[in-house]
Structure 1
Amino acid sequence: MGNPFTSFSFFFFFFFTAIWLTSASPSPSVTLTLIPANSNLSPFKSSPSPPSLDQINAHDKARLIYLDNLIAKTDVPVGSGRQFQQAGNYLVKANVGTPGQTLFMVMDTSNDAAWVPCSGCTGCSSPTLFTLEQSTTFKPLQCGAAQCRQVSNSYCTLSDCHFNMTYGDSSFEALLSVDSLTLASSTIPSYAFGCLKSVTGTSIPPQGLLGLGRGPLSLLSQAGTLYQKTFSYCLPNAKSMNFSGSLRLGPVGQPTRILYTPLLTNPRRPSLYYVNMTGIKVGRRTVNIPPNVLAFDPTTGAGTIFDSGTMVTRLVAPAYVAVRDEFRRRINQPVTSLGGFDTCYSTPIVPPTITFQFDGMNMTLPEENVLIHSTYGTTSCLAMAAAPVNVNSVVNVIATMQQQNHRVLYDIPNSRLGVSRELCT
């Protein structure tokens, strides 16, 4: 099969990733197919040019600013970014309203509230909007509704509940509403979401966002027993123009041969999926990382999370430096930098494996999850980076490139997260 990461252009394929229905029969569990936006199967064939390494770096820095500020219940400061903020995202094909109107909504495991661009929206970038006037089941929520107290930054206009939010380099104002939401063969009849009325900036997902976080307004919470608060995904790598991964909602069909680590709850960032990372190995050597650097701390919000929106794993500086230095020592060749990556090589290398160690399980990364390769020449780089120096993130993020070709299972009822190798093609 060869190395699937022969070009940084694979990030382009993930600018938008569509999720399609694969099962039409009613079931408490549904499996949906992930399609990269610029593959031959994608409806988003006309996406812009692939992002540069600098743009990828800026995307992840902005994402970490967003994650860092989830610690607060106030407005999140706007981070740097442009339209390439959509890099690394995955879309779910959803039908909203009655009759259903199809939208491709970004799947975000670190966000709770859903929102869609609605008719009359000022600043929405998508030509496809949810026409609320055509839905017989659409209803705005009033200020006394429980959901109005659950969403951040809510306020009242007359008797209707609104809320503000920032996301990437954008901010928006939305009317909190309820309507029918259908994913594959399953329907949630009264789903609370934000109906976007005005948007500033360029990084709001064009056709909306569906939160798969852990809060009361997330898909898992609002679905009740439908999916039993269980889901998994397998993210593919971009080795061809015709490939797919999968999102599986519900307990049926989940892997049985899989190792788990406990999910941790952090009240400082309650929506995020925290796990306890105990160490990192480069090859067979566990690198020297001070225990407090990896420690889970519910007081500060520190720890390690799995995230569906960050592209390249980010480690707090002391952890990254320890991994990077051991990686360099093992390669023992001259090092260059490129596009924000500081450990690159101009000649072909055979990298050591990197293993993330968690309570109860290890996640060993093969070469395809460790190296990324430049579009031109033979330069390859360690596909990890330090958290931005201007962000007090205190969060290590296991990102999508390192998750690719793994089945990642979120089992909320049993408070655990599982990872197993799987060819997601």
Structure 2
Amino acid sequence: MAPPPPPLLMVAAAIATTLLLSTLSLLVQATSPQHSQLCNNNNNNNPSSTSSGSTTIPVFHAYGPCSPLRGKGPSTTSFADFLLGISASDKSRLQYLTSLATATPRPKRSFVPIASGSKLLQTPTYLVRASLGTPPQSLLVALDTSSDAAWFPSSACVGCPQSDSAYAPASSSTYLPVPCGSPQCSQVPNPSCSPSPPAAAACSFNLTYGSSIVVASLAQDSLSLASDTIAGYTFGSLVQATGTSVPPQGLLGLGRGPLSFLSQSKPLYSSTFSYCLPSFRSLNFSGTLRLGPSGQPARIKTTPLLTNPRRSSLYYVALNRIRVGRRYANVPPGALAFDPATGAGTIFDSGTMFTRLVAPAYAAVREEFRRSVNGTVTTLGGFDTCYDGPVAAPAITFEFDGMRVTLPAENVMIHSSSGSLSCLAMASAPDNVNSVLNVIASMQQQNHRVLFDVANGKVGVARETCTGA
């Protein structure tokens, strides 16, 4: 297994975030009674639904205006801090993804490493509601296409933050601990079942990184999304966290590994799902996670899924060229090449906020973008191509095998609320990360239907406006 990625949010990243906050304020709407009522109305108008072979579930940004975390979490100021902090934490996310892509294969390892500080991987961005146990306990879970893990903080967890949505195993009649002799126990890192415990002993595991140690027990219980229930779903129940605490949200891994949601729900959903991610500024619960082959776009353009034996869970695709406006960026051929031996290539990832390209590819895209805009460029923190005032941004097109995805301006630029500053919402790998990955991230995926059809080995993308007013 690869060593853990370097610590999150280094001092330089924190300084960069501070610089950004001093000049770049994302549009954040304050919560008011009228605003709350609008959110409630929109939520009621977009409930989970199930039809033959398909389930559709609302998706929302963790700290968007209509998020259930909004009232308890950040104020308007801290929300802006949160969003801009993601641009810095994307660096650590890239470190994590790189460690996955380049790791030496270890069979049946599906759980992800714990990141440093108070974050597991990074602060989650897009959430859905799920129910766990009997009777069902309502939980918020983050969606992560680059993880196979499912984990939920336990209500009895020592050192975990208090949360209304923590899982209480003792309250569920269908809760079962997973024994050490089970196949699932061999699929988690560092199981505490060696050298030779009784096969019936409960399987647990711990992860250490920096000053943080997290202990989890492997368990099974009934997991429900909408009205569909998966009996005996295997997940990690966090029971102890020392050092700094972990966030209260759970995580649902949508990767391709044996313990992923995709694998455990295969009889229901045939290894197929799609999502449309709304803007973090949306007042509507209009984003959706659609499970199963039924109801997916019939004429969506697709590209073949590629497999990296070093990390078969990641959603690799063949990115061939990048066009900025009407001109192709002069990207060196090797910068986009898929190489299973090194882990190099391009993936779709829901947990990274801003698209990251390897340095030669990003330099070529940035050069063509600046040439097209032809304005005075400023550099602010993690954004190195910014302009005073609004600019006419060129469309950026990613050309994959069999599929072209053209990003409109709202997926290319990030703006201050006043419109006085505009920045290209992409970046290269940080200087201290030897990344071989190009990551198509969530901001560039917003307002698109992204289809993951693992059964037929393809990924599809189609424009779909799922951000309401």
Tell me the TM-score normalised to structure 2 length: 0.82
1:35 match:
60
Give 1:343's match in structure 2, choosing from 364, 371, 385.
385
- 1:30-85 residue CA offsets vs partner (Å, 9 max, x unmatched): 00112334556432123221244762332101111111222435997765666697
Structure with more helix by fraction: 2
2:61–2:127: 8 Å Cα contact kept in structure 1? Answer: no
SS of 2:93 mapped into structure 1: helix
Q: Hey, what's the Cα distance between the residues in 1 that align with 2:353 and 2:458?
A: 23
Amino acid at match of 2:68: P
Match of residue 113, structure 1, among 123, 126, 149: 149
> Within the alignment, does 1:137 sit opposite 2:162 as a pair?
no
Q: What is the aligned length?
A: 416
Instruction: Compare 271-280 and 44-53 and name the one that shifted more.
Output: 44-53
Counterpart of 1:3? none
- The whole-number CA distance in structure 1 between the counterparts of 2:161 and 2:207 is 17
Number of the residue aligned with 2:437: 395
The 1-side partners of 2:30 and 2:241 are apart by 25
2:126 matches 1:97: no
Q: Is it true that 1:61 corresponds to 2:91 in the alignment?
A: yes
Secondary structure of residue in 2 paired with 1:309: coil
Deviation at 1:422, TM superposition (A): 0.5
> Distance in 1 between the 2:454 and 2:259 partners?
15
Q: Tell me, what secondary structure is at the counterpart of 1:311?
A: coil
Note closer, same or farther for the CA distance 1:201–1:102 as it changes in structure 2 (3 Å cut). Answer: farther
Partner SS state of residue 435, structure 2: coil
Distance 1:344 1:255, change over 3 A: same
Q: Residues 211-226 of structure 1: matches in 2 within 5 Å?
A: 211-226=253-268
Runs of 5+ consecutive residues of structure 1 not aligned to the other structure = 1-5
Please tell me whether the aligned partners of residues 12 and 51 of structure 1 are also in contact (alpha carbons under 8 angstroms): no
Alignment partner for residue 8 of structure 1, among 17, 20, 26?
Answer: 26
Indicate conservation of the 8 Å contact 2:30/2:65, yes or no.
Answer: no
The alignment's C-alpha RMSD in Å is 2.9
> Does the 8 Å CA contact 1:58/1:80 hold for their aligned counterparts?
no
Q: Which residue of 1 aligns with 2:406?
A: 364
Aligned mates of 2:290, 2:226 — CA distance in 1: 11
* Deviation readout 1:362-406 (Å, 9 max, x if unpaired): 110110011101245611001100011211220000000000010
The one-letter amino acid paired with 1:63 is R
Please list every run of 5 or more consecutive structure 2 residues that lacks an aligned counterpart in the other structure: 1-23, 32-41
State how 1:132-171 maps to structure 2 within 5 Å: 132-156=169-193, 158=197, 159-165=201-207, 171=213
Paired residue secondary structure (1:155): coil
In structure 2, C-alpha distance between the alignment counterparts of 1:293 and 1:381, rounded to whole Å: 24
Q: Tell me, in whole angstroms, the C-alpha distance in 2 between the residues paired with 1:100 and 1:78.
A: 28
Q: Distance in 2 between matches of 1:101 and 1:260?
A: 37
TM-score, normalising length from structure 1? 0.90
Segment drifting more, 329-338 vs 30-39: 30-39
Of the three residues 173, 180, 187, the one matched with 2:215 is: 173
Secondary structure class of the residue paired with 1:154: coil
Assess, with a 3 A threshold, how the Cα gap between structure 1 residues 423 and 81 changes in structure 2: closer, same or farther.
Answer: farther
Question: CA offset at residue 326 of structure 1?
Answer: 0.8
Within a 5 Å distance, the mapping from 1:272-311 to structure 2 comes to 272-311=314-353
Write the distance in 1 (CA, Å) between the matches of 2:210 and 2:409: 30
Deviation at 1:165, TM superposition (A): 4.1
The Cα offsets for residues 301-322 of structure 1, whole Å up to 9 and x where unpaired, read as 1100000110000001000000
Question: Quick check: 131-140 or 43-52, which moved more?
Answer: 43-52
Q: What's the % identity of the aligned pairs?
A: 58
Residues 123-132 or 297-306, more deviating: 123-132
Describe the SS at the equivalent of 2:385.
strand
SS of the residue aligned with 1:66?
helix
Query: How far has the Cα of 1:418 moved from its partner?
Result: 0.2
Distance in 1, matches of 2:251 and 2:43, equals 13
